[in-house]
Structure 1
Amino acid sequence: MSYHHHDRNPGGRHRRRHDRSPFRQSGNGDSYSESDSESYSGSGSDSGSRSPSPHSKRSHQKGAGSDLLKIGSKIKFGKKLKALGSELEDKLNLNKLVPPELENKVRKQLNKHKLKREDSDEEEAKREQHRQRGERRRDRGHRRQFEQEQWRDRNSARRLTGPEHHIYDPDFLQNPEEELENTWVQNNMVFGPTIKYYKGQNYSDLKKECEEKGQLFTDPEFPAAEESLWFNQAIPARIEWKRPRELCDNPRLFVEGVSSNDLNQGQLGNCWFVAAVASLTLEKDLWKEVIPDYKEQEWDTEHPENYQGIFRFRFWRFGTWTEVVVDDLLPTINGQLVYNRSKDQNELWSSLLEKAYAKLAGCYEALQGGNTLDALVDFTGGVAEPIALDKGGYREDEEKKEKLFKVMHKAAERGSLLTCSIRVTSRDEMEASTESGLVKGHAYSVTAVKKVKVGESGMLSGILGNQEKIYMIRMRNPWGQKEWRGPWSDDSPEWQQVSSSEKEKLGLVKEDDGEFWMCFDDWITHFTDAGICRLINTSLLSIHKTWVESRVFSRWRSAPGDPTHNRAGGCMNNRDTYLQNPQFTFDVVPKKSTQKTKKVLFDVDKDEDTVLISLSQPDTRQTRKETGGKQGNLTMGFAVYRVELNRKYRLHTMKEKVADSIYINTRSNFVRTELRRGRYVVIPTTFDKNEEGDMMLRIFTDTDNNCKELHKDQPTASCFSGILGYPQAVTSVHLHSATGLSKKQGTFSLKKTDTYAVIKSGSKSAKTRVIEDSSSPEYDEEAIFYRKDPRNPIKIQIWKKDLIRDDLLGEATMMCEVNNSTKQHVVQLQDKDGGGDVHGSISVSVTSHDDLTAI
């Protein structure tokens, strides 16, 4: 605490600030401020402060005491007492400052504030430690140079990527000596996501350079040459690269906004990309992020000198928004654009977007064949969820079909992007048309999912319920033609059942434009695969469900024969090396739900919650040039295991598997599952062992999940272990259940018997979830302890949860000998400290090993 002297500026800003303090005094100018530092200010005229004399300190105590009495008599305690600070009780004698009847109240408030202050100091220390680690990483060169730009629409940026943003650097993950620091970099950006400039090209700098030289931009990183077009098979025609002014009289980025009808695929087998772009056009907030500052990039007809022939686009690649710069030179044959183009020859946004994506892939031919969901993730930073329509039982099970429609309808309403296709089994089927007009092996964008009213129209019909609702879905073929010819196609008689007003709501247009409607039953029957790119809502200000995202980067690293450093153990088929894969722990802590009982609202702990898990690997499309067209995605998957409530070290034995994914050689893998409250370990693996590659794991939960990679196999010995001791045994306690618990009622207790258990070993403990209204609860929870003295007992306490104070129903004390085996016990509960038996017993299994890596 410091006492400042402000004689140099008696009427200035600092004096006015201190005058608002309830502990001001007018004597010698010494005053206490909440913002003062916790040390005596040194002398010196520059600071305007001096060390107080004993006399001035006593004067301060007197003034503070008189004002404290005023506070006690006029206001509620706790509002202005915070200004005292955490050390006031040490500096001042409360017995001399306040009357006895106020002393206890003041002391309680001081203790309360002191605890808050200590928590705040601890959080500040953690932030400072995190900042210093980040600086060390940058100084050692583990992270690439990056620049931070503020996005104009901050809310939209947060919706795209969430409040947590991370930097990925492949070099940062390849040094095994830095294993403890290479998990993830979390940075709560204030100004939006971090932007990485592809090939180091900064749009603003390049545009300014062209403006100064008075010339149009020509991109040296993606030249107007054959190397930018293909790597394997050339188009049998002469390609000419032309600028927009050579193609049309009035070039524009957009003509009357963006629409899926702006797209025509061209001479490239990238319908997957065009379908993704068509979906992107449905959400303005999304394409504004892919095409940033689109108004500034538009042609200025009044000031043509401002045009430098340079454009920029942004794509979300492996956890980072990447900005790609391109020039306006486009490949043509006989004056016509070769690849993606708009119906309006003056509109060029889709052609330039495709060129930027081709540059990111290495060349145009690298876009031949792909996954629509991958492109949607690149446009949004969302999470890809594939759906196998022919394998999920949706065609046979009406309940599953109904649930799927609700999922898709809800996703579409909340801005998620959807796609579908018909799987092919041979090359001959590729892009072959069916009798109904659909194209196999072709990506369609889903542009609407609706419930359509059919039957008699009018207000009376609506009131009487004469109108039936049919589940409908609208799609678009990227070719701009070849539509569905079955029921509910453009000219089908089924549309006569729909009123004109309902058709207007649906935006029904009878044109051969590639867009068409199907009923949901037909859609499930004819299509085999669908996909949802979920835009996970992480905004704090939302009426819809929000998620908390953890994003972790790591690497499968092979070190055969070295279990400590090998992190490429392969799938479960390789049982001897499976647990050598990277392991990540996370917690599921569902939010409280509110229940109403007899007009009283209670917050009730939920036992389960939904968890979204996505595993991704870097895009390998850029390597197709070097590999002759082969795309080397690893076949990968993951499994989730429920582990001990307090596990901090790697798994060495198998635990209960609660969820898993399929193994697939795509860029990402996804699982949605329901998990109960507790701690879990997820193990991502490649299918074959000794395969190396980078990975990104994203976990979305209701609340903070504390996801992190487990690097250590056991507690680390230090130079103080000889003095403080080091664990001699590891013990796992599995509490199965309790029976016959007491239903004793306290003064303010609930009638229900809601119980939980606390498992203790020395100063360490683990608390189970609450089991509601049961005198024989099934806990099925585990805790693990690394014990320095195995002779000390382990205690298990059973508590009854109540409104005001929880009641101890009983405890069991167990001596757990180290016998390298598992034993099951049934133990009678006793009063605290062994005061006698009480109602109830517990069933528990205990495993103890002298090998700390045995569990």
Structure 2
Amino acid sequence: MDCTLGSPLQHRDQDYGQLRDACLKCKSLFEDPEFPAQRSSIGLPADTDPARALKWLRPKEINKNAKFIEGTASTNDICQGQLGDCWLLAALSCLTLHQPLFANVVPNDQELSEPYAGIFHFRFWQYGQWVDVVVDDRLPVQSGRLLFSYSRTQNEFWSALLEKAYAKLNGCYASLKGGNITEAMEDFTGGIARSLSVASRTPAVLWRALGSSLSRGTMLSCFIQAVNRAEVGMVTPEGLVRGHAYAITATDVVKDKKGEVCLLRLRNPWGFVEYCGPWSDNCKEWDEVDNAEKQRIALTRAEDGEFWIKADYFSSLFTTVEMCSLNPDALDDTPSSWRITSHQGAWVPGCSAGGSRKYRRTFWTNPQYRLVVSQLDHQDVADENDDDAEEQGGLEEDGEEAVAAVQTDRRTSSTVVVELLQKHCRQKDKINFMYIAFHIYRVPPELQDDPSSLKASFFSSNKPVSRSGKYQAQRGTRRKVRLPPGNYVIVASTFKPNIQGSFFVRIFAQAGNELESQGGVPCSSEFSSVVLANPIAPDDRSKVQVLFKQQAGLDNRLNAVQFNKLLNSGLEESLHLSLETCRGLIFGQDTGGTGTLSLAQTEQLVAAVNSLQAIFSQFDTDSSGTMSSFELSLALQAAGFLLDPPVLQQLWLRHGTADLLLSFDGFVACIGKLRKLFDLYESEGSLEVKEHGINTWLLRFIGV
């Protein structure tokens, strides 16, 4: 489903238009059952002081002159309340500077005047699609004041209602405590975010780059990196808060008696606590500037959270700039043509959650995505590796040099931007970001035509040509790199194996380059030629013939119960299979609708089970009677089944165990299910089914 801005996904199936019309028809105010006016929607402990009891009030109950938006939305409409969501509100301050982007998030057909139904809606980008979130306008109030976000004008409520909608999207208000501003920037725009180390440029170059970015609609923010948790929230002698997000809202030049001064305008989302160094609101430097100049830049010398700072001082005090633009050219003067490919994926324990490169036996099982670079850039692209802020504070995978040398001559390489976002880590009052990263490997020509060839040996003997950086416990990690022409594979992983989670990966590449999932080839089965073609051994034939006579019914055939007894009582102990698995094997045979086996069919199945036992033993390296689930795809390949990752993942979810081990019975059950599904597909006469292909068929029925 293509959920665009014009046709967004309805969050929790709530249709704003229908709900609003129903309320207007019955002359009632909307009360949202999906996000009720209760403590559960707050997610924080209740205040024990009765005088500070929480109330839920509508805007006109708080202020008789309540407006949704008074005039136009501005940064002064946003002040932080009793919630640590400065990252969200700083991004919201940036959003107000770009009216078209603001209108995408805040539909402009909403008012607190008649016709009024107490219902509002907002749109957010979520992992490749836009989502429309409905809320009622009951807001949490404590001691007569809004508990969370509020406007300095006191009678404006759009920011408080947007904050409520974003809290609903993420579970509750408490789920918004703490975050990275790039997360909110991307959710407001669907754009691509980047981190930039302030120290990577001279003050003059940085100032020019930020001004150019603002003019192209890029959202900008900054912060001072806290060395440890204790430093977060500490105020520096210059009045700046460590670990706190500030919005960058403008750059400009003013003239004093000494000449031109390059300035940046910042805003603290608290709405107070401002920079107090040179060029701050009340400093003497402004006395040397003409009033006309001060009026031109709209200088406001008030404690409103907004202040100007000289470019030199900015570079000496701040450590990181965060930016978000609709394409990767946030700092480049010449726009280029980008092609975007995205994939939804998952790390499934025991199947596709192989961990970092230090787990050499399982790293290859992580989701993989192919990239073919053939089209070169037609212009210089500057600063392709300026994301060094992302290297800080993460987990290193090993002590080795992690990236192989690769030629990156601008004339013979192309720009690629990769972003990996983990999904659904803000739920209710818990924020659980996993440590994630991605690696890019070059695929040699001899392996390019075989998508199943990139196994453990390939990754253990080759170094990546690039990576996202250290594993980061943040929602997203991204990297802009230059790659020479060739075939590459991108591997997305968590730091530790068997960590369950879902993710979204998108790849920006120059037009002409090709991107695809590693699992994009049709599944195939050679089971009949690999396993069923093996004849039964003479000794086993004699045993089977004797046991068949003992177990067969009057029709001289075996049903599932009798076949189960034959395997479990007369043959090797290791062939023990459950009755249900025996039924699956029988229904994989052509029994003419009887569900019973002839002697020849019994001999064939016993031979097949013996072959599967040999395959299973090959991967049961510790002779425990179980097979590591990471080896399931290799065992299935040995049995003649080549499966793409999504199919393998669904197969594991259907047959895998909680302890991430697979018994021989479970392995045979997988084989029986696959064999029957492949046979049914071959007999299917529908052209529509054939057009969709075997992969779609397997994904549809593998869970049945």
Name which of 228, 247, 250 aligns with 1:448. Answer: 250
Contact 1:224 1:329 in 2 (8 A): yes
- The answer to whether structure 1 residue 488 and structure 2 residue 279 are counterparts is yes
Deviation at 1:588, TM superposition (A): 2.5
Contact 2:377 2:510 in 1 (8 A): no
Contact 2:373 2:514 in 1 (8 A): no
* TM-superposition CA deviations, 1:210-243 (whole Å, max 9, x none): 1221211111111112111224454741111112
Q: What corresponds to 1:520 in structure 2?
A: 311
Q: What corresponds to 1:414 in structure 2?
A: 216
Q: Could you say what secondary structure the match of 2:248 adopts?
A: strand
For residue 617 of structure 1, what is the amino acid of its counterpart?
Q
For residue 442 of structure 2, what is the amino acid of its counterpart?
R
Contact 1:569 1:579 in 2 (8 A): yes
Q: Could you say what secondary structure the match of 2:233 adopts?
A: coil
Return the alpha-carbon distance in structure 2 between the equivalents of residues 410 and 720 of structure 1. Answer: 64
* TM-superposition CA deviations, 1:319-349 (whole Å, max 9, x none): 2211111111112124322211112222111
Of 614-623 and 486-495, more deviation after overlay is shown by 486-495
Contact 2:377 2:415 in 1 (8 A): no
Alignment of 1:108-257 (within 5 A): 194-232=7-45, 234=47, 236=49, 237-257=52-72
Name which of 474, 492, 505 aligns with 1:697. Answer: 505
Deviation at 1:576, TM superposition (A): 2.1
Contact 1:649 1:714 in 2 (8 A): no
Q: Could you say what secondary structure the match of 2:23 adopts?
A: helix
Q: What corresponds to 2:181 in structure 1?
A: 372
Q: What corresponds to 1:430 in structure 2?
A: 232
For residue 683 of structure 1, what is the amino acid of its counterpart?
V
Name which of 389, 397, 414 aligns with 1:609. Answer: 414
Q: TM-score, normalised by structure 1?
A: 0.53
Deviation at 1:206, TM superposition (A): 0.6
Contact 1:231 1:363 in 2 (8 A): no
Return the alpha-carbon distance in structure 1 between the equivalents of residues 130 and 481 of structure 2. Answer: 28
Name which of 434, 438, 441 aligns with 1:641. Answer: 441
- Any gaps of 5 or more consecutive residues in structure 1? 1-145, 147-164, 168-188, 457-465, 560-565, 596-604, 723-855
* TM-superposition CA deviations, 1:732-759 (whole Å, max 9, x none): xxxxxxxxxxxxxxxxxxxxxxxxxxxx
Pair member with larger Rg: 1
Contact 2:74 2:96 in 1 (8 A): yes
Deviation at 1:622, TM superposition (A): 1.5
Return the alpha-carbon distance in structure 2 between the equivalents of residues 322 and 222 of structure 1. Answer: 16
Name which of 310, 316, 328 aligns with 2:125. Answer: 316
Structure 1 240/576 Cα, relative in aligned 2: closer, same or farther at 3 Å? same
Return the alpha-carbon distance in structure 2 between the equivalents of residues 713 and 537 of structure 1. Answer: 30
Return the alpha-carbon distance in structure 1 between the equivalents of residues 378 and 235 of structure 2. Answer: 51
For residue 362 of structure 1, what is the amino acid of its counterpart?
G
Contact 1:481 1:513 in 2 (8 A): yes
Contact 2:375 2:513 in 1 (8 A): no
Return the alpha-carbon distance in structure 1 between the equivalents of residues 23 and 12 of structure 2. Answer: 18
Name which of 261, 285, 298 aligns with 2:111. Answer: 298
* TM-superposition CA deviations, 1:421-458 (whole Å, max 9, x none): 223344543322221111123221111234x25356xx
Deviation at 1:400, TM superposition (A): 5.5
Alignment of 1:351-362 (within 5 A): 351-362=160-171
Contact 1:328 1:352 in 2 (8 A): yes
Alignment of 1:396-411 (within 5 A): 403-411=205-213
For residue 621 of structure 1, what is the amino acid of its counterpart?
R
Q: Could you say what secondary structure the match of 1:387 adopts?
A: strand
Of 509-518 and 226-235, more deviation after overlay is shown by 226-235
Contact 1:582 1:684 in 2 (8 A): yes
Deviation at 1:529, TM superposition (A): 2.9
Name which of 339, 356, 368 aligns with 1:571. Answer: 356
Q: What corresponds to 1:586 in structure 2?
A: 371
Q: What corresponds to 2:634 in structure 1?
A: none
Return the alpha-carbon distance in structure 1 between the equivalents of residues 378 and 242 of structure 2. Answer: 46
- Any gaps of 5 or more consecutive residues in structure 2? 381-409, 531-704
The Cα RMSD (Å) is 3.0
Structure 1 673/403 Cα, relative in aligned 2: closer, same or farther at 3 Å? farther
Deviation at 1:367, TM superposition (A): 1.8
Name which of 599, 602, 619 aligns with 2:424. Answer: 619
Alignment of 1:784-823 (within 5 A): none
For residue 447 of structure 1, what is the amino acid of its counterpart?
T
Of 219-228 and 543-552, more deviation after overlay is shown by 543-552
Structure 1 660/428 Cα, relative in aligned 2: closer, same or farther at 3 Å? closer
Deviation at 1:497, TM superposition (A): 5.1
Contact 2:221 2:323 in 1 (8 A): yes
For residue 373 of structure 2, what is the amino acid of its counterpart?
V
For residue 8 of structure 2, what is the amino acid of its counterpart?
I
Deviation at 1:484, TM superposition (A): 0.8
Contact 1:388 1:528 in 2 (8 A): yes
Of 202-211 and 358-367, more deviation after overlay is shown by 358-367
Q: Could you say what secondary structure the match of 1:569 adopts?
A: coil
Return the alpha-carbon distance in structure 1 between the equivalents of residues 58 and 348 of structure 2. Answer: 47
Larger RCO: Structure 1 or Structure 2 (Cα < 8 Å, ≥ 6 residues apart)? 2
For residue 422 of structure 1, what is the amino acid of its counterpart?
I
Structure 1 453/240 Cα, relative in aligned 2: closer, same or farther at 3 Å? closer
Structure 1 297/235 Cα, relative in aligned 2: closer, same or farther at 3 Å? farther
Q: Write 1 or 2 for the structure with the bigger share of helix.
A: 2
Contact 1:489 1:518 in 2 (8 A): yes
Structure 1 671/555 Cα, relative in aligned 2: closer, same or farther at 3 Å? same
For residue 415 of structure 1, what is the amino acid of its counterpart?
G
- The answer to whether structure 1 residue 270 and structure 2 residue 85 are counterparts is yes
Contact 2:377 2:413 in 1 (8 A): no
Q: Could you say what secondary structure the match of 2:211 adopts?
A: helix
* TM-superposition CA deviations, 1:100-150 (whole Å, max 9, x none): xxxxxxxxxxxxxxxxxxxxxxxxxxxxxxxxxxxxxxxxxxxxxx6xxxx
Return the alpha-carbon distance in structure 2 between the equivalents of residues 611 and 520 of structure 1. Answer: 31
Q: What corresponds to 1:327 in structure 2?
A: 136
Return the alpha-carbon distance in structure 1 between the equivalents of residues 27 and 520 of structure 2. Answer: 59
Return the alpha-carbon distance in structure 2 between the equivalents of residues 265 and 208 of structure 1. Answer: 33
Contact 1:590 1:606 in 2 (8 A): no
Q: Could you say what secondary structure the match of 1:331 adopts?
A: strand
Deviation at 1:643, TM superposition (A): 2.0
Count of matched residue positions in the alignment of Structure 1 and Structure 2 = 488
Structure 1 524/314 Cα, relative in aligned 2: closer, same or farther at 3 Å? same
Structure 1 520/720 Cα, relative in aligned 2: closer, same or farther at 3 Å? farther
Return the alpha-carbon distance in structure 2 between the equivalents of residues 673 and 384 of structure 1. Answer: 14
Alignment of 1:641-720 (within 5 A): 641-644=441-444, 646-650=448-452, 651-652=454-455, 653-654=458-459, 655=462, 657-662=464-469, 663-711=471-519, 716=524
Q: Could you say what secondary structure the match of 1:707 adopts?
A: strand
Name which of 321, 328, 336 aligns with 1:545. Answer: 336
Structure 1 248/712 Cα, relative in aligned 2: closer, same or farther at 3 Å? closer
Q: TM-score, normalised by structure 2?
A: 0.64
Alignment of 1:452-463 (within 5 A): 452-454=253-255
Structure 1 223/235 Cα, relative in aligned 2: closer, same or farther at 3 Å? farther
Contact 1:570 1:690 in 2 (8 A): yes
Q: What corresponds to 1:758 in structure 2?
A: none
For residue 577 of structure 1, what is the amino acid of its counterpart?
T
Alignment of 1:835-854 (within 5 A): none
